[in-house]
Chains A and B, each alone.
Chain A
Amino acid sequence: DSGVTQTPKHLITATGQRVTLRCSPRSGDLSVYWYQQSLDQGLQFLIQYYNGEERAKGNILERFSAQQFPDLHSELNLSSLELGDSALYFCASSTLPKDEQYFGPGTRLTVT
């Protein structure tokens, strides 16, 4: 158990819908990262937050957004969902940006 929690574990929704994925980092970790794992794209970095501020952006679609709250938990919002958004979404956290990242169990999103 890495100490990073993600909810829900599984999510099934229809095209065009909007969902919110939640992540709670390890106790004391200030940096949160979101990654997407799909069969065709592999593991891709989406976005990073550090102590409530956006720090880096990767291959994140405009339909996706994220935020980190004062209690350091983070949410990833996915809207206007398409079939191709079906993937495993991971949250990871680290104490400081330079430290090793520990991953949560992931949220499996299925868009039908």
Chain B
Amino acid sequence: AQTVTQSQPEMSVQEAETVTLSCTYDTSENNYYLFWYKQPPSRQMILVIRQEAYKQQNATENRFSVNFQKAAKSFSLKISDSQLGDTAMYFCAFTSNWLGNEKLTFGTGTRLTIIP
């Protein structure tokens, strides 16, 4: 079974600074998908970024980028020029490429606070 580990329960950073959230996962598969979801105080789950394991290039979405290290099974999220609206829980998630196994497996989350 796949597992996702987020070892940083809480982090805080000054506004406009850069912060990196860590995520490691365990799988025996060679092809799969990784995601970061954001859950602000409204509790809505918002997709931030997606990475396909067969792509070597790291995904980027505006101020959000990932550092995907397949051999190390590491998938960190970097937030540049952090903004107050980035304050949220961030969940790392994994999904298999196997048919019928498309569920998301989530980590326990990192609570990020952006300090004004």
Contact = CB atoms under 8 A, between A and B. Distances in A.
B102 A43 contact: no
A100 B45 contact: no
A97 B97 CA distance: 10
Contacts of A33: 102-104
Given A48-B102, A55-B100, A56-B103, A102 B47 contact: yes
Given A43-B91, A106-B44, 14 more contacts: A33-B102, A55-B100, A56-B100, A58-B103, A94-B102, A97-B102, A100-B33, A100-B35, A103-B37, A103-B44, A105-B42, A105-B43, A105-B44, A106-B45
A42 interface: yes
The main secondary structure of chain B at its interface with chain A is: loop
Contacts of A42: 106, 108-109
Interface string A1-45: 010000000000000000000000000000101010000001101
Interface of A: 2, 31, 33, 35, 42-43, 45, 48, 55-56, 58, 88, 90, 92, 94, 97-98, 100-103, 105-106, 108
A35 B104 contact: yes
Contacts of A108: 43
Interface in B61-99: 91, 97, 99
Interface residues of B, number: 22
27 contacts: A2-B44, A2-B46, A31-B102, A33-B103, A33-B104, A42-B108, A43-B104, A56-B101, A56-B102, A58-B103, A88-B43, A92-B104, A94-B102, A97-B102, A100-B33, A100-B35, A100-B47, A101-B47, A101-B104, A102-B47, A103-B37, A103-B44, A103-B45, A103-B46, A105-B44, A106-B43, A108-B43
Contact of A97 (B43, B99, B108): B99
Contacts of A55: 100, 102
Contacts of B108: 42
